[in-house]
Amino acid sequence: MMERSFVMLKPDAVSRKLIGRILSRFEEKGLKIVALNFLQIDEDLAKTHYGEHEGKPFFKDLVGYIISAPSLAMVIEGDDAISVIRKIVGATNPKEADLGTIRGDFGMDTGRNIIHASDSPKSAEREIDLFFNRDEMCDYEVPEDSWVYE
């Protein structure tokens, strides 16, 4: 099932100049990037994005971290994209993430875990709508799709 997911490279990924290395993992897997937005997230957007964590002890630090430097928001499309992306990303705690995953290869601490990826179709839709207008997403064909999908 073709679906779209929201993915965000957090300030630590951007500041450590890992954007290209991380994007290539999604493209090499056969997933398609349909929208990108390089932005400095403001406090209101951060609080809305992480609203499910409001009231938790780490909420203030999480908001402060995500607004501390630019992030790269994106929409990625593919067959069963949400679960495929989450496998590529790895466990939330980088110390528990398998080597070969983004967090397993580049992260050391849960508070600096490089990347966010939607965990469900409902979350993906909500997060995409927070960061993108529908007209900012590109629908296009990739010739290599016939070599990725049956």
The residues that are catalytic are: 116
Both tokens of 141, joined, read 């064909």
Cβ within 8 Å of residue 12, ≥6 positions away: 107, 112, 113, 114
Residue type, 139: D
Cβ within 8 Å of residue 126, ≥6 positions away: none
